[in-house]
Chains A and B, each alone.
Chain A
Amino acid sequence: MIVEQIPVDQFIAQLSHSGIRVKLGPINVLIRTEVPQLAKQLHFLYAYYDIVENEIVDIHTHVLPKFSFNNPFSSFVRFTVDGQSPFPPFPADQALAALEWGINLVIAVRVNHLLMFHSAAVERNGSLILLPAWPGSGKTTLCTALIHRGYRLFSDEFGLMDPISDFFTPIPRLMPLKNQSIQVIRDYLPEAVLGEEIYNTQKGTIAHVRPPRDHIFKTDQVARAKWIIFPKWTANAPLKLEPLAQSEAFLLLASNSFNYEILGESAFRAVTRLIRKCQCYQLVYSDLDSALAMFNKLTDEA
């Protein structure tokens, strides 16, 4: 069963009572909330995610209303994971952002059976493109464009690599567009499904892209990487794709990983194999048309 098969009223009731267990790629997350607005957003944006009933839950989350004596007329919410609150309270209208950041934080901290890169990852023709990038690189915008133009979403945030088999595992989550990127995507991809805009977050205005239905349904289809491309959006810059020295790619990728040091030797060996098997590039781009043409050319030639 998937989320959209549950009537919205029943979904809201279940979220506030025992919670809903959803499958996010290789991770099962229990979500509970008594915040009706968040429940409605989840019913829409999580519409295609599987509900798991008889599987172990990896992460127990709860978003609950929080009364503030300092701001008695404002409404706040608190995000908790396994009963602990890693963040200060958020304004209630930012509940979805709090939940998404909270789940990402827990994934980044806990998932240590896989080597985890801070990276978007998309697949075409059976091979994966890893797009490691730092905040502000335009990673989510580029990833959103790619997955609406023939590339399958693995993640816009986590490249999850099995350090033994070298396969990457999809974890297609909501993709948070920020600030000007929201209108860029609305103009460029009218078919993209976005949630409500959330204002004044610590990252500005955010709107979440709902991954396409068939991408979520294919979360069991793994792939090996063939390209590692470090993207950087720069205003008005002509498109430039330059090969990257393997030693530099190693350094960038290892330092970009959330758990490289935790995994130790297996991570060193996995990154070594990954770099040796992949073509590594640095990409500077400013417009999505030329970037998509470059990606198509690269993956067509493979």
Chain B
Amino acid sequence: MVEGFYPTQAHYSSFVEECWKTLNYGSLIIEEWDGEFTVFQPDAGKTHYLNEMSVQILIYIENNAPAALSTADICDYLVKKFQLQTDTAFPKQINKTLRRFDELGLVKQIS
């Protein structure tokens, strides 16, 4: 976890510490269309339509494998990469995205 990122929001502390790894990232077929992405997931036979930030989440987690990354780590990376002004809603949104990825079998939460 990145110290000082959201230290004052005690109720965030649980989910920003959740850690994630990709699942079968190497099997994904990713095509870019001017900043939008189509991602084919052979395991599920599904096609996902993702924006650049969502794809960057997957790439960043994969690039740090085998280590798992926390939601806070990922948020910190995205803030820097996309030069974002963050608020308290941002990590919530990223966590929601990660949980959705988990449901889809793109990432898994590491307890």
How many chain-B residues does the 8 Å CB contact rule pick out? 13
- Given A251-B49, A254-B47, residue A268 in contact with residue B40 (CB < 8 A): yes
Interface pair B45/A261, CB less than 8 Å apart: yes
Total number of residue pairs linking A and B with CB closer than 8 Å: 35
Interface pair A245/B34, CB less than 8 Å apart: yes
Q: Name A254-274 residues within 8 Å CB distance of B.
A: 254, 260-261, 264-265, 268-269, 272
Interchain CA distance A247-B31 in the complex, whole Å = 10
User: What's the least CB distance linking B11 to chain A, in Å?
Assistant: 36
- Label chain A's interface by main secondary structure: helix
User: What's the least CB distance linking B95 to chain A, in Å?
Assistant: 25
Interface pair A265/B42, CB less than 8 Å apart: yes
Interface pair A247/B42, CB less than 8 Å apart: no
Interchain CA distance A246-B31 in the complex, whole Å = 11
Within the complex, which residue of A247, A272, A275 is in contact with B49, where a contact is CB–CB below 8 Å? A247
- A250: Cβ under 8 A from any B Cβ: yes
Name the B residues within 8 Å of A261 (CB-CB): 45-46
Interface pair B47/A268, CB less than 8 Å apart: yes
Name the A residues within 8 Å of B29 (CB-CB): 265, 268-269
Chain B window 34-74, contacts with chain A (Cβ cutoff 8 Å), 1 for yes, 0 for no: 10111010100111010000000000000000000000000
Interchain CA distance A247-B45 in the complex, whole Å = 19
Name the A residues within 8 Å of B47 (CB-CB): 254, 260, 268
Max chain B Cβ within 10 angstroms of own Cβ: one of A261, A265, A268, A272: A268
- B82: Cβ under 8 A from any A Cβ: no
- Given A254-B47, A265-B29, A269-B29, residue A247 in contact with residue B40 (CB < 8 A): no
Chain A window 226-269, contacts with chain B (Cβ cutoff 8 Å), 1 for yes, 0 for no: 00000000000000000001110011001000001100110011
Name the B residues within 8 Å of A269 (CB-CB): 29
Interface pair B36/A272, CB less than 8 Å apart: no
Interface pair B33/A246, CB less than 8 Å apart: yes
Interface pair A246/B42, CB less than 8 Å apart: no
User: What's the least CB distance linking A255 to chain B, in Å?
Assistant: 9
Interface pair A272/B38, CB less than 8 Å apart: yes
Chain B window 7-49, contacts with chain A (Cβ cutoff 8 Å), 1 for yes, 0 for no: 0000000000000000000000101011011101010011101
Interface pair B38/A250, CB less than 8 Å apart: yes
Name the A residues within 8 Å of B36 (CB-CB): 245, 247
Q: Which residues of A contact B (CB under 8 A)?
A: 245-247, 250-251, 254, 260-261, 264-265, 268-269, 272, 275
Q: Which residues of B contact A (CB under 8 A)?
A: 29, 31, 33-34, 36-38, 40, 42, 45-47, 49
22 contacts between A and B (CB under 8 A): A246-B33, A246-B34, A247-B34, A247-B36, A250-B33, A250-B38, A251-B38, A251-B49, A254-B47, A260-B47, A261-B45, A261-B46, A264-B42, A265-B40, A265-B42, A265-B45, A268-B29, A268-B40, A268-B47, A269-B29, A272-B38, A275-B33
